[in-house]
Each structure stands twice: as C-alpha cells, then as structure tokens.
Amino acid sequence: MNALPTRKLEAWRYTDLRPLSALSFGAPPVAVAVPDLPELPFPRFVFLNGTLNPTLSTGFAYAKPFAAPPTFGSQPMAAINAEHVGGGINIEIPVGQDAGEALLVSQADGVTPFAYHPRHRVTLGQGAKFTLIEIDEGAGTYWQNAVFEIEVAEGAVFQHFRLQRESMEAFNTIFIHADIAAGASYEHFTLTLGAKLSRTEIEANLLGQNALAHLNAAQLLGGTQHGDFTTIIRHKAPNCPSRQTVKSVLAGRARGVFQGKIEVDQIAQKTDGYQMSQALLLSPDAEMDIKPELQIFADDVKCSHGATIGALDEEQVFYLRSRGIPEADARQILIRAFLEEALEPVTHDASKALFEEVLESWWGRQ
Amino acid sequence: MSMTTEATINELATQKYKYGFTTDIEMEEFPKGLSADIVRLISAKKGEPEWLLEWRLKAYEAWLKMEEPEWARIHHPPIDYDDLYYYAAPAKAQPKSLDEVDPELLKTYEKLGIPLHERAALAGVAVDAVFDSVSVATTFRDTLAKAGVIFSPISEAVREHPELVQKYLGSVVPVGDNYFTALNSAVFSDGSFVFIPKGVRCPMELSTYFRINARNTGQFERTLIIAEEGASVSYLEGCTAPMRDENQLHAAVVELVALDEAMIKYSTVQNWYPGDADGKGGIYNFVTKRGACRGKNSKISWTQVETGSAITWKYPSCILQGDGSVGEFYSVAVTNHFQQADTGTKMIHIGKNTSSTIISKGISAGRSNNTYRGLVKIMPGASGARNFTQCDSLLIGDQCGAHTVPYIENRNASAKVEHEATTSKIAEDQLFYCRSRGLSEEDAVGLIVNGFCKDVLKELPMEFAVEAQKLLAVSLEGSVG
Amino acid sequence: MLEIKNLHARIGDAEILKGVTLTIPNGEIHAIMGPNGAGKSTLSYVLSGREGYEVTEGEALFNGENILEMEPEDRAAAGLFLAFQYPVELPGVGNANFLRTSLNAIRRKRGEDELDAVAFLKLARAAVKQLAMKEDFLKRNVNVGFSGGEKKRNEMLQMAILKPHLAILDETDSGLDIDALKIVAEGVNTLRDETFSALVITHYQRLLDYIVPDMVHVLAGGKIVRSGPASLALELEASGYAGLEAA
C-alpha cells in the first residue's frame, strides 16, 4: 500500500493519521444488518460495506456501470484509494437534463476492522441539474477512504450535500476533485458528526468564466473526535465567485481543523473569493486549528477571509438573561443560532430538513 | 496630505535607489569562506572570553549539520557559503571617540542622512553606526550613561558587561533555532547592546544604522535589548547597502527581553539594496527577530517597513510568557520588480490574559512576490488571551503575487482569536479622482499606498514616519503606466 | 417601587458609585443626568446584574426585595427592564423567537401560562404596529444589521411586550433623530400608569421634552448631587455640569 501521509507534509500538519496506521484493516465482510434508511422519496444507491446492494437500491435513469478510476496527481489518499478501489456510483446527467435528486447511502458494519475505498464519479452535461444527498454511517471500527470525481459542464448545477455520521470508532477520509466549467456551479455542504477521525478534502477548479464554487461545512465534534475540513479552490478563469462558510462546534477534547486555500491565477481577473471560518469552543480542552490561505497572482480581485475562534460571547448571554431567559437556555439559544447559520448555505429543502433533524438529535445528546 | 509632502513624493518618485554609492576606505578582511578557524579568528579579533568562543564553535558545529529552510515562498540560486567574507572592517583601529572616526566614514553617514556629530545629530536620537562587520561610532553615550542606560556595540558589551551578555545572549533565540541563527551565532561580528535598568525610561530614542559596504561580504549582526522591571525604550534600526550586481547575505539575530511591566518598542526601516529592475543584485535578508515578554504586563511592539532587499525572510515574534503581557506587530512590506518578501510574525500566548495585535500591509508590484506568513498560537494555560489580526494585500499590476498564510491554533476555550484578511487593488475610480485633481498617476499611487499603510506608519517614531512615506513612493517607482 | 440606599460599586480597583441614594415611587418617572464618567451606565448595569461590577456597600430594593443578589433573568422576571445603550446583536436568533422565549420564561417564573405561537404573534404584531415598525422586524435576527435607530426601537418593542414594572433607559436617546426619539418617548409614555416606573438616564435634556419626568437627579462623581423637578433639566442644559462635583 502507498504510505499514509505524515504530519511532515504541510497539508497534513494538523491531522495525525497514526491512530489509523496503528490498526490493520482487513477486507470488508459481507454485510448482514439491514440498514435503517432515511425516508427521502428519491432514487437511491445503497452500499453495504462498500458493495452496492441491488435489493435496497432503486434504479436511477442516469446511472452508468462503474468506470475505471483516473488518478489524481499527488493526493496521497487518492493514491491509496486507486490501489484498492472496489466500486462506486457513476452518474452521467445528459445535456439540459434536470435529473432531480438521488440519495447515496454508505453503510458499514463489521466485527473486526476493515477498510473500503469507494470511487464515485458524477458528470453533468451542459445546462444539466442534479442534487446528490450522501449519508455515511455505520457501526464498529472501519475506514472509508472515498474519492469523488466531479465534472460540471457549462451552465450546469450540481448540489452535493453530505451527512457524515459514521460510527465513533470509524475513520472517514474523502477526497473530492471537481472541475467546474463556465457558468456552472458546484455547491457543497458537509455536516460532520461522526468518526473518530475524519478528513474531507476538496479540490475545486473553476475553469471558465462565472464558474462558481460553494464549499461549506459544519463540524460538531465531541469526545476525542478529530475533524478536518480542507479545501483548495483554484480560480483559473476570470469573473468567478467562490464562497465558503465553515463552522465548528467543539466539545469535550475534540479537535477541529480547517485549512482553506484560495488560489487565483494570473488570468483570473475579477475573482470574488470570500471565506469565513468560525469555531465555538464549548469546553476548556477543545482545540481548533485554522489555516486560511490566499495565493494571488491577479491584480483586479476581491478576496477576503475571516476567522474567529472563541467561546460564547458573554455580552450576548447577558443580553438574553436581562430579558428573563435563564442562563442555560441563553447559552443553548446562542449555540443553536450559530448552528442555524451553518445550515444557511443549504438551499435544498429536503436536505435542510434532514440536517436540521440531525442537529436536533445531536443537541439532545449533549 | 500637505503640499510639501506631495512635492517630496513627486521629487522622490523620479529617483533611483539613492543609497547605492560605495565608500572607498581601506578595509581589513579575513580570508573568504567559513571554518572553525575563521570563527576563532573573529573571536580573537574581538578579544572575546573563552565561553563565547565555545558558544560560537558549538553554533558552527550545529550549522554544519543543518540545512537551509525551504518552506518560505522564495527562490534563489544556491548560496555559496565558502565564497563569502565573514569579517570586513575599516582597517584603522577602532576609534575611542567620535573625533577619531575616519572622516570618510563620517561623510558616508552624512550622505545617508545620519550625521554622527552630536551637535548635528537628530535631536533626541542616539545612534550606533555599524559599518560592515563593526560598530564605528555610538553617539550620546554619556547622556545615556547618566540615566544608567547601556548603549554600546555588542562586542564592547562582551568585554565590559560579560555577566549581562552571558545571561541573555541566546536566551530568546537559541543557537540552533534555525539555519541562519546558527550561522549568525558562529560568526556575528557586531551589533548593538541595550540595557535599560529597573524603573528607567530611556531618555532618548536609540537607533542603530547598519551599512553594508564591502563586496562579497556577509553581514551578521546581533542585537540584544534588555528592559528590566518597569523600564522602557524605543529603538529604531535602519539599513542600506551599495548597488552591486552580485547578491549579498545579511543574516541578523535580534533578541529582546522585557521583564515585569517593561516596554520595548522596536522599529525597523529596512532599505537594503533591492536589486535592479531586472532582478540583478540585491541583499538576501534572512533575519530572526524575537522578543520574550517574560514579566507580567510587559509589552513588546515590532514595527517594520520593509522596502529593500532582493529577498526578505523575517518573522519578528513575541513569546508572551508573563500574565497580561502584550505583543504587537505592525508591518508594511513593499515588493517591486523581482523582489521576494516572505514575512510575518509569531505570537505565542503562554501567560493568562495575554493579548496580541497583528496589522500587516503587503504591497506587490512589478514581478515581485509578497507573502504574509504568521502564527497565532494560544497555549492551554493562556486563559483570557486575545488576538486580533488584520492582513491586507494590495496588488499593482498583473505580473506580481500576493499571498497570505496564517496559522491559527487555539487550545484555550476562554481565548478569543479574530483574523481578517483582504486582497484588493487600487480602484480605478480612486486613481481617477486623484488624477482629476491634478496628481500624476505615480503620485496618486503613492498617495493611496500611504493611506493603505496608515495604520502601520502611525506606529513609527516621527522621524522615521516621514522617511518611510518617502521610501514607499520610491520603492514603487516604475510600477504603474 | 425602587429604593437605592447608599450604593457603592466598583470595577476592578476603581470605585465608580460612591453612595447613591434614590427612591422612585410607583408610577413615577425619574431622570438621571450627569457628565460623562459620572457613573450613569454603571448604575444601570449594577441594577440589571451585569458581571464585572462589584457592589461593596448598600442595597437596591425593588418592591421591597434586594435585587442586587438576584440573577439577571430573575430581575427581569421581577419586572425590571434595561434598555441598553448599545443593544447586542444576536446572529441567527430570530426576533420573534427571542421575544417569545423571553416572555414565556418570565411568565413561567411568575406562575402564568405560557403563550402559544398564535397568541404571541397577535400580541407582537399589535406592538409592532403601535411602534410604527415594519412587520418584517419580527422575522429579522435580533439587532443584526439594524441601524442605530432600529436597535433602539427594538428595545422599545421588547419593553412593550415584556411590560416591566421598572424600565431603565440607559442613554436610549444617544444617536437618535427626532422621529426615533418620539418613538422611544411614546414607548415609555404608553406604559405610564400606577404600576410602571422608569429611570431615564440621559446626558441631554432633549429626551425629557418628550418624557416629562417627575423628578430629575444629577449624578456626578458617583453620587447624586442634586435633585429637583423637571425644570432642573432645563437649568442644567443652560448652565452645564461644571462645578457640580464639588456640590
């Protein structure tokens, strides 16, 4: 197997994969448990331990047979994925087609540690539309190391909403590569709740004028969880907007990481890049590391990033209390408001409802 | 902006690097190259005690095992460390007083705008003039001595105050901190030493003026400033060098120590020769500056205006150990033509209720690259720590690069960290507005750039602020149109 | 209603209030005027229970009970309302939701039934209308993106809905134009009855043209140095605060 990256690599300075390399992962067992599937009325792909389950899955008009994976340069996790790749979805939305929604569920369940390496591909033809809702979940110790290859042709819109609620003993690493053509949009949102250690890494290339990337995320972590959201947005054409809101709520001894790089090529004049990262530390032992990075080679651009890390604002707590709201309630209101804002980028109603429900139950457990 | 300042910028905008002359003076140089013997020679030349020679040799051993750091966004052909002179000094014996200083040297400093005769000197500013490897003059020493302040060349401090030097040298920047600190520790030849005793507010601004003159010579100065309990000092440094086609190495180390309630303000106007419009020549400036706020409520404030050097690699930092200590970093870095700057700061919050402010303004023009690189680290014990960071970049022209690489690490929930960064260009309508009021395009750029840098420039002592404003205009010459 | 007796308070080592004594009977409106730094805002924060202020001596009896020992939310439930000089922004917290949560928390503490969403909205809409505010006010996040005037109106809206027995207006008039000023005054004047008192803290006499106080007190150097009828405000406007500290 290709070696796992170490913290000596700049891109991995905040995420230590030693807990992962300390385990030995076998091949995925045949799944027996029948998963509890979310009640969303969309065509679905259900993977059990990395294998597509034809009984639980429904047909989807635009699904193609699994395709041989391309390689993605130097990304170390993608290289490992390429060595072991088992299966994945391959969706091609034809030109001008509004394909509606589809659901991708990955469930894992096993007694001894195992790993699976799905390779998914989604391409949208010119002017096409598609929304994919992805849910990763499971029980036990396992490692899902996924790669997503995305191509969005001129004027097409791809919404990609991910709910990562893997088992608390699991590892979840995903590498997403998106090529976005002129006038096309890739709207991404990941809600990270699960896994002992997770990393979502996205590389989005804005290749034509007015291509748009929204790479948003929320991480709610507790215990000793480690969650890493790492992105690179490459502005390779003029007039492209990119937006990012990344919110982290950290309890217990959790550690959150956000690394967000915006690269603007010389040709990419009139780039409009905005990135905001906020973290709320709810316990004295939580830790947040943020590295927002700008690399700019064009002069007529508007790029900014902001980052804040801290506890709840005591002025706000006092304001609520002075209106009669008990302190504990006041704190709860403010945390929920913080999370509410994190969901703002999710413009798809069914997905938003799903995320809200999940937040509600996360909150109930705190 | 007043008419006079406008006129000054007008005038300066048409000037080239005006400090690029050379001084013709008989020099004493050690043979080229670096070896344990050269280190011994330097130490012997300075009449140093045994412990310092040992310290230097250890640093040299460490340096041999180290490699040049590669993480910064800078590129240069390999530096041949064996093709450099590590010691060069005016041949005449070290003067005891200003009257004995070689008139050529006095002329040189006068030409640089730094008259060394006290009657002609800037009021209220004491100057230590370092020429290549040695200090050639220090003004107002008597006035300072009356207040109990020690301001002397560090080589002299080694002889006269060995206990202080031994106690603090290398205590903030360890010898093996990085490749260039190890090199500096092995071969440093001079620099300034400042000691402000307990409760003393230094009665005047202290200033060191660094001048590289000799060809193929590296400059390795070492500055050590100690402010005891309740003491305060404002220190400024300026740097220039002749125009030469080959690159020259400057690798300095600056250490600051602030005890309880002490305050050190350190300002730099760095105007080493930046190389010509084609990127030929210029100083490689690899500098390690670090301040330790050891005492409670101590404060260290760095202000830098970086316009010179072909390569700038420096990160003036604060270690905020004392409870309630304060660190500040105000920076303007201008790069034009083929200059490369990778500069920023580290704020390490260790004590409770420590606070830090970072204001960085980067301006890139020509084919230059300008990077802000900074670390804000809140350690678990730093309850109530605060940081505010503002990093703004301005691009002039589409051949240059502006980069921002902040690292923010918070391990204390009661700490609050805020970071903002923007990148923009000079708006057409701002330029048009200025030009419709009669300013040339270059003047308009100068004006707008000065406005962009205002938050930093206002931190400079008055005498330097005016100089810095002029410098900005000169540095950006040829960047528009 | 409110009896402040020999109140001393400090922030850190600095003593700000040095023995304030003041009584506001039921149904009366009293104004506190004074130069900057006299301790006016400190008095309002001490009364509403903000952290960072240490009461070293004295008491403040609100309907016979010493409120200085109470949590801020309990003071609100007891009927105390502070209109902030700089109302805080609460991103992500809807105005209507906030108001209903507050109102029901207070009602719960008083042993009253909570209002359901429908009943609350009816009440809130009426209040919004009365204060000549746009209805989308209720949908926006608390004070986020509000102009200075809108923030102050929002304070009045909260006051109208929470119906306190004692309102403290901490320089509510600062930065307001004349129309907004009238709205603040109207907000106070409509509540004026036997069960409502108010303490209006202001630097200028202007607001008192619209809220005519029963008494005016001058706070200087941490003490009440003069008290008198409404006309005292006019006198101060003419002569300034100079020389009062010595009084």
Cβ neighbours of residue B146 closer than 8 Å, sequence gap 6 or more:
none
Tell me the CB-side half-sphere exposure of residue B91, using CA atoms within 13 A: 6
Q: How far is A31 from A19, CA to CA, in rounded Å?
A: 25
| Per-residue buried b or exposed e for B382-408, using 16+ beta carbons within 10 Å of the residue's own CB | bbbbbbebebbbbbbbeebbbbbbbbb
Q: Which residues of C touch A325 (CB under 8 A)?
A: 73, 101-102, 105
User: Which has more pLDDT, C2 or A72?
Assistant: C2
Which residues in chain A (197-226) have CB-CB distances under 8 A to chain C?
Answer: none
Q: How far is B3 from A109, CA to CA, in rounded Å?
A: 77
| Per-residue buried b or exposed e for C8-28, using 16+ beta carbons within 10 Å of the residue's own CB | bbbeeeebbbbebebebeeeb
Quick check: B10 pLDDT over 80? no
Average pLDDT for residues A296-325, to the nearest whole number? 91
A334 closest CA partner among B415, C101, B33: C101
Indicate the average pLDDT of chain A.
Answer: 93
**Measured between CB atoms, which of C51, C92, C102 is closest to A323?**
C102
Quick check: A68 pLDDT over 80? no
Given CB atoms, is B413 within the 8 Å cutoff of chain A? yes
Question: pLDDT > 90: what percent of chain A?
Answer: 81
Q: Cα dihedral angle (C12, C15, C19, C24), rounded to 10 degrees?
A: -60
Number of domains in chain C: 1
What does the pLDDT look like over A93-121, one tens digit per residue?
999 999 999 999 999 998 899 999 999 99
What does the pLDDT look like over B162-188, one tens digit per residue?
999 999 999 999 999 999 999 999 999
Q: Which residues of A touch B401 (CB under 8 A)?
A: 295-297
Phi-psi region of C59 (alpha: psi -120 to 50; beta: other; left: phi over 0): beta
A178 closest CA partner among A164, A155, A198, A160: A160
The distance of B362 to chain A (nearest Cα, Å) reads 12
| Cα nearest neighbour of B408 on chain A | A290
User: Which has more pLDDT, B472 or B335?
Assistant: B335
**Number of C-beta neighbours around residue B196 at 10 A:** 29
Q: What angle is formed at CA A264 by the lines to CA A261 and CA A269, rounded to 5 degrees?
A: 150
Which residues in chain A (297-316) have CB-CB distances under 8 A to chain C?
Answer: 313-316
Quick check: A366 pLDDT over 90? no
Residue B461 pLDDT class (50, 70, 90 cuts): confident
pLDDT, residue B2, reads 33
Residue B93 pLDDT class (50, 70, 90 cuts): low
Residue B127 pLDDT class (50, 70, 90 cuts): confident
Given CB atoms, is B71 within the 8 Å cutoff of chain A? yes
What does the pLDDT look like over A237-266, one tens digit per residue?
999 999 999 999 999 999 999 999 999 999
Given CB atoms, is B69 within the 8 Å cutoff of chain A? no
Instruction: Report whether B154 contacts B190 (CB < 8 A).
Output: yes
Number of domains in chain A: 1
Q: How far is A110 from A117, CA to CA, in rounded Å?
A: 15
**Measured between CB atoms, which of A314, A324, A337 is closest to C102?**
A324
Which residues in chain B (388-407) have CB-CB distances under 8 A to chain A?
Answer: 393, 395-407
ipTM beyond 0.85?
Answer: yes
Does residue A142 form part of some domain? Answer: yes
Listed range (A355-359, B431-435, C11-15) with the worst mean pLDDT: B431-435
Does residue A340 form part of some domain? Answer: no
What does the pLDDT look like over B225-266, one tens digit per residue?
999 999 999 998 887 777 778 888 999 999 999 999 999 999
Residue B95 pLDDT class (50, 70, 90 cuts): low
Q: Which residues of A touch C82 (CB under 8 A)?
A: 322
Do the Cβ atoms of B401 and A295 come within 8 Å? yes
Residue B96 pLDDT class (50, 70, 90 cuts): low
Average pLDDT for residues A59-80, to the nearest whole number? 85
User: Which has more pLDDT, B123 or B225?
Assistant: B225
Residue B23 pLDDT class (50, 70, 90 cuts): confident
Q: Give the C-alpha distances (Å, rounded to integers) separating C132 from B13, B159, C142.
A: 58, 81, 18
**Measured between CB atoms, which of C50, C82, C105 is closest to A326?**
C105
Instruction: Report whether A256 contacts A287 (CB < 8 A).
Output: yes
Given CB atoms, is B41 within the 8 Å cutoff of chain A? no
Do the Cβ atoms of A334 and C93 come within 8 Å? yes
Given CB atoms, is A253 within the 8 Å cutoff of chain C? no
Q: How far is B155 from A156, CA to CA, in rounded Å?
A: 70
pLDDT, residue C243, reads 63
Question: pLDDT > 90: what percent of chain B?
Answer: 53
Average pLDDT for residues B121-147, to the nearest whole number? 77
Q: At what angle do helices A327-342 and A314-322 cross, to 10 degrees?
A: 120
Does residue A325 form part of some domain? Answer: no
Quick check: B137 pLDDT over 90? no
User: Which has more pLDDT, B28 or A12?
Assistant: A12
Which CATH number do you get for residue C233? 3.40.50.300
pLDDT, residue C245, reads 53
Does residue A264 form part of some domain? Answer: yes
Q: How far is B429 from B228, CA to CA, in rounded Å?
A: 51
pLDDT, residue B3, reads 34
pLDDT, residue B7, reads 38
Do the Cβ atoms of A325 and C105 come within 8 Å? yes
pLDDT, residue A162, reads 97
Quick check: B463 pLDDT over 90? no
Q: Give the C-alpha distances (Å, rounded to integers) separating A240 from A181, A236, A267, B42, C226.
A: 10, 9, 11, 58, 65
Tell me the CB-side half-sphere exposure of residue C76, using CA atoms within 13 A: 31
Do the Cβ atoms of A296 and B414 come within 8 Å? no
What does the pLDDT look like over B350-404, one tens digit per residue?
999 999 999 999 999 989 999 999 999 999 999 999 999 999 999 988 889 999 9
Q: Which residues of C touch A356 (CB under 8 A)?
A: none
The residue assigned the tokens 């996040």 is: C141
pLDDT, residue B289, reads 97
Given CB atoms, is B427 within the 8 Å cutoff of chain A? no
Residue B163's H or E segment, with its range, is helix B162-168
Burial class (CB in 10 A: 0-12, 13-18, 19+), B255: buried
pLDDT, residue C134, reads 84
Do the Cβ atoms of A291 and B408 come within 8 Å? yes
- Structural domain span for residue A219: 10-313
Whether pTM exceeds 0.90: no
Find which of A299, A301, A308, A313 to mutate to test the B interface (most B CBs within 10 Å of its CB).
A299
Q: Give the C-alpha distances (Å, rounded to integers) separating B438 from B6, B425, B444.
A: 11, 21, 9
Question: pLDDT > 70: what percent of chain B?
Answer: 92
- Structural domain span for residue C95: 2-245
Instruction: Report whether A164 contacts A201 (CB < 8 A).
Output: no
Indicate the average pLDDT of chain B.
Answer: 86
pLDDT, residue B439, reads 74
Q: What angle is formed at CA A291 by the lines to CA A195 and CA B173, rounded to 5 degrees?
A: 120
Listed range (A169-173, A289-293, B97-101, B352-356) with the worst mean pLDDT: B97-101
Quick check: B9 pLDDT over 70? no
The encoded tokens of residue C3 equal 């009896």
Does residue A276 form part of some domain? Answer: yes
What does the pLDDT look like over B181-209, one tens digit per residue?
999 999 998 889 999 999 999 988 898 88
Q: For every one of its 247 residues, what pLDDT tens digit does chain C have, with 9 covering 90 and above? A: 899 999 999 988 889 999 999 999 999 999 999 888 888 989 998 998 888 889 999 999 998 899 998 888 888 889 999 988 888 888 878 888 888 888 988 898 888 898 988 999 999 999 888 887 888 888 888 888 888 888 888 888 999 999 999 999 988 877 778 888 888 888 889 888 999 999 999 888 888 889 999 999 999 989 999 999 988 888 888 887 776 654 4
Average pLDDT for residues A44-63, to the nearest whole number? 93
For residue A300, give the DSSP letter.
Answer: S
Quick check: B121 pLDDT over 70? no
Max CA separation in chain C (angstroms)? 57
For residue B8, give the DSSP letter.
Answer: H
Q: How far is A159 from A133, CA to CA, in rounded Å?
A: 8
